[in-house]
A and B are shown apart, each in its own frame.
Chain A
Amino acid sequence: MEVEDLESQQVDKMETITKVPTAPKSAEDPRYKLIAENIVASYNGIQAVKGVNMKFRERAVTALIGPSGCGKTTFLRCLNRMHELSKNAQVTGKVLLDGQDLYSNKEDAIIHRRKIGMVFQKPNPFPTMSIYDNVAAGLKLNGVKDRKIVDQIVQGCLEMASLWNEVKNDLKKPGMSLSGGQQQRLCIARALAIQPEVLLMDEPASALDPIATQKIEEMINELKKEYTIIIVTHNMQQAVRVSDYTGFMYLGDLVEFGETKQIFENPRNEITAKYVQGQFG
């Protein structure tokens, strides 16, 4: 053990992170990347999220399900301080990223958002930018100037979003010229480019056809080796397919939260059972 430790100190830092797991993955000692404590979010004084506590495990996919208007998207937007950008929106509570409270300091919202990437429901590539510039936007506009690094990241992220092969010859074309499914993967590549640690996805496949959806789900499975992913979805089969943990929200409350298998096969709460069986929604 000691010899190994010495050796690992000699290799550079990036390698230590990728090769040696920082914490053992055992049931007794789970590592939580993101912890939401007592999140209350409201629009115009009407509460959309009513005191949700949730812990998100590192390198796992957590799905948020629930009927329309149950507050799952609002809750997701609280996790990277996007909710407060809406007009007349208020948030209280804590969001701890690696133990650091995102809400403790107003100025830090920008830095936090760089660690927490977000993919929106509707693909929203920047309309005036090319495919390349869309992926590079988060880099260039955050001060990355080295062209080689930018090129490397753009290619890498497009590959991760499994879009590279489709666009590698058209990088100069407008991002808007792609199909809906490609645009969404472009947005995922853009979110990955800023090297986040957490990825928030707000119904990323709701506007896509089954093939594009499948591509995105395969990608999520690949990405979770590295990222902590939180995905809001209306599609319960999708939650079963991609997530390790599932939280069921109803009327602004987190009704039940557990392993996906347990939530869908053996829900403890009556409303959860009704919802996952498709009795309402």
Chain B
Amino acid sequence: MITIEQRAEFRKHFRNNISSRQAMDKIVKGIVFGCVALAIIPLGSILLEVVRQGAPALSTDFLTQEPGAIGSDQPGGIGPAIQGTLMLIGMSSLVGVPVGVLGGIFLSEYGNNRYGNTIRFFNDVLAEFPTIVIGLFAFIAIVLTFGSFSIIAGTFALSIIMLPIITRTTEESLKLVPVTYREAGYALGIKRWTVITRILLTSAKSGLVTGIMLSVARIAGETAPLIFTILGSDNFFMAFDQPMDALPLRIWRLSLLPYDSATMQGWGAALVLILIVLTLNIGVRYLFLRKRGGGRFRITAGG
């Protein structure tokens, strides 16, 4: 037992320096806000600069036309690049999202063993992999095998880049769902797979969507792997086994040209790329995460 004397002694050890504590509180607060500002300044200035330089380039022709002759009066547009980027995002997501989400489900729900740990380790390694190496891999595996640069090879490379990001975020957000929801589901006699898809995935939805959008933003801006896979082109989509253009590639090419019109187009293309990623992000969030009526997500029969 603690005696009254001891208690009095213990109390003396607490510090009563309220004013210095408040000062410390202010200092830490200041540092935190300072760091936020430091992070926002580059972001803001990049955005501002891109809008300032890129906005004048925007026009209907710029968005829809094929590129014109280099350095001529008619510089044309970046239509094929926009089309290519949208197709690449769509096709890569078609492969990367289902595989990544299922992989995340495996790691979170069935991966508490040596297999799971091994896969988790290699998944993390893959996430850190230089994307140019993945591009080279796609070049050897697809381009050399089938004999042509193609959007298929680009999709192959980009879905490999997407995969580990989605897998990891899916696993993490599923693990955050409290065990009580799982138990409630199992106690109702619901099958494990149904509990996972209908209860856990809906509870983890926002994390999942964030992960997918992160990976989409990541691949939308990838340039290096595209050089090895889709090569670039001045034409709209022709066939799945033909070279294709994409915005990052186009920006890179335009930036190398010694003409002012090309530089301006490059800024314009950068602005378009940022707008595409932003629109996709906001659109997907609105579609999947908005609150409907009172209940957030209605469940439907079946499954």
List residues of B (161-197) whose CB comes within 8 Å of A's CBs: 178, 180-191, 194-195
- Closest B residue to A196 using CB positions: B189
B34–chain A nearest beta-carbon distance, Å? 36
Q: Are A82 and B180 CB-contacts (below 8 A) given A144-B301, A173-B294?
A: no
CB within 8 Å: A-B pair count:
110
Q: Which residues of A contact B191 (CB under 8 A)?
A: 110
B210–chain A nearest beta-carbon distance, Å? 16
B33 at the interface (CB under 8 A from A): no
Contact A126 B181 (CB under 8 A): yes
Please report the C-alpha to C-alpha distance between residue A82 and residue B178 in the assembled complex, in whole angstroms.
16
Mark interface residues in A162-189 (1 if CB within 8 Å of B CB, else 0): 0000000010111001000000000100
Contact A111 B189 (CB under 8 A): yes
B60 at the interface (CB under 8 A from A): no
List residues of B (275-303) whose CB comes within 8 Å of A's CBs: 293-303
- Closest A residue to B191 using CB positions: A110
Contact B187 A191 (CB under 8 A): yes
Q: Are A128 and B205 CB-contacts (below 8 A) given A144-B301, A172-B294?
A: yes
Q: Are A130 and B294 CB-contacts (below 8 A) given A141-B188, A141-B299?
A: yes
Q: Which residues of A contact B300 (CB under 8 A)?
A: 140
Partner of B188, one of A85, A133, A138, A145: A138
Partner of A113, one of B178, B186, B203, B298: B186
Contact A113 B183 (CB under 8 A): no
A126–chain B nearest beta-carbon distance, Å? 6
Contact A141 B198 (CB under 8 A): yes
Known A-B contacts: A142-B190, A150-B301. Give 19 more (CB < 8 A). Answer: A80-B187, A110-B189, A113-B187, A113-B189, A124-B181, A126-B199, A128-B202, A132-B295, A133-B298, A133-B299, A137-B185, A137-B199, A138-B189, A140-B300, A140-B302, A141-B195, A141-B199, A141-B303, A143-B302
The stretch among A22-30, A45-53, A114-122, A270-278 that forms the contact with chain B is: A114-122
Contact B183 A124 (CB under 8 A): yes
Please report the C-alpha to C-alpha distance between residue A170 and residue B295 in the assembled complex, in whole angstroms.
10
B256–chain A nearest beta-carbon distance, Å? 50
B112 at the interface (CB under 8 A from A): yes
Q: Which residues of B contact A128 (CB under 8 A)?
A: 202-203, 205, 296-297
